[in-house]
Amino acid sequence: MKKSLFIVLAVATVVTFCMGTAFGADINLAKKSHIQKILDRGKLRVGFESGYMPFEMTNKKGNFIGFDIDFGKRMAKSMGVKFVPVNTSWDGIIPALVTDKFDIIMGGMTITQERNLKVAFSDPYIVVGQAILLNKKHEGTVTSYKDLNDPKYILTSRMGTTGEQAIKRMIPKATYKGFESEAEGGMEVINGKADALVYDLPFIGILYSSQGKGKTVFLNKPFTYEPLAWAINQGDPDFLNFLNNFLRQSKGDGFYEKVYNKWIMSSDWQKELQ
């Protein structure tokens, strides 16, 4: 009886010790979360590259506007801190996050396995895919990306993006011409210097409606699956939990629908850029 009681007490002591150790580890993990740094600083620094319509742009007054910008502002407000936009070159945006130039990437970033090895992604906030802006001379002849898999076709996209990756992976025989911006690649097609632009569906639709009608054809059926998400540094489950719950709240209280209708379903915002 005494031996049994001793064993019970010993087990209880070990369990209590383990629970205490685990609780202490949880507290230390919470203290290390980037959330605490944001709260202490009183600023949420949001990284993006202006120019990806309609997610982040610069209006004629020099202010940043767009789908992601609205979410960044609301996120900062929900944390009780100041929203600080950090316009950053796309090719260096992940290294800038890793070296603490800002707290989060909210810049229309597609989740890829390669990127996921370097950063942690929230749940997707929108799903887009690659679409095609086709020069009108190919109307009826080219009906999908498969028809473009020939060296005679010159395809454009923005360098370092999933548009470029899609061309190299799915249309490898085509002649590829990369550009610093998606707008430059699109104008090559509109001006007849290239055959097709491969890029994210929302941008293709905007470019077609604003400058491509009569000169191009919009093949609006995406041929890739590309979820966009916010990216943070790895090893921060508390920040990731905050982001996912923030997204659920935004979808539940009507904010997401409001922003989606404003930037995705409408083109009224284009007046701010002209």
Q: Based on the fold, state whether residues 145 and 213 are members of the same structural domain.
A: yes
Domain assignment present for 264 = yes
Q: Based on the fold, state whether residues 71 and 192 are members of the same structural domain.
A: no
Domain assignment present for 169 = yes
Least confident of 23-32, 133-142, 156-165, 245-254: 23-32
Structurally, the chain folds into a number of domains equal to 3
- pTM for the full predicted model: 0.75
> Which has the higher per-residue pLDDT, 1 or 230?
230
Domain assignment present for 226 = no
DSSP 230-268: EEE-SS-HHHHHHHHHHHHHHHHTTHHHHHHHHHTS--G
Average pLDDT over residues 248-265: 94
Domain assignment present for 228 = no
Q: Based on the fold, state whether residues 100 and 148 are members of the same structural domain.
A: no
Per-residue pLDDT tens for 19-74? Answer: 555 445 455 655 678 999 999 999 999 999 999 889 999 999 999 999 999 999 99
Domain assignment present for 106 = yes
pLDDT exceeds cutoff 50 at 148: yes
Domain assignment present for 89 = yes
Q: Based on the fold, state whether residues 44 and 6 are members of the same structural domain.
A: no
Alpha-carbon span 64 to 46, nearest angstrom: 12
Q: Which domain holds residue 265?
A: 39-127+234-272
CB 48 within 8 A of CB 68: yes
> Which has the higher per-residue pLDDT, 8 or 158?
158
3-class SS shares of the chain: helix, strand, coil, % to 5: 50, 25, 30
pLDDT exceeds cutoff 80 at 18: no
pLDDT exceeds cutoff 80 at 16: no
Average pLDDT over residues 116-138: 96
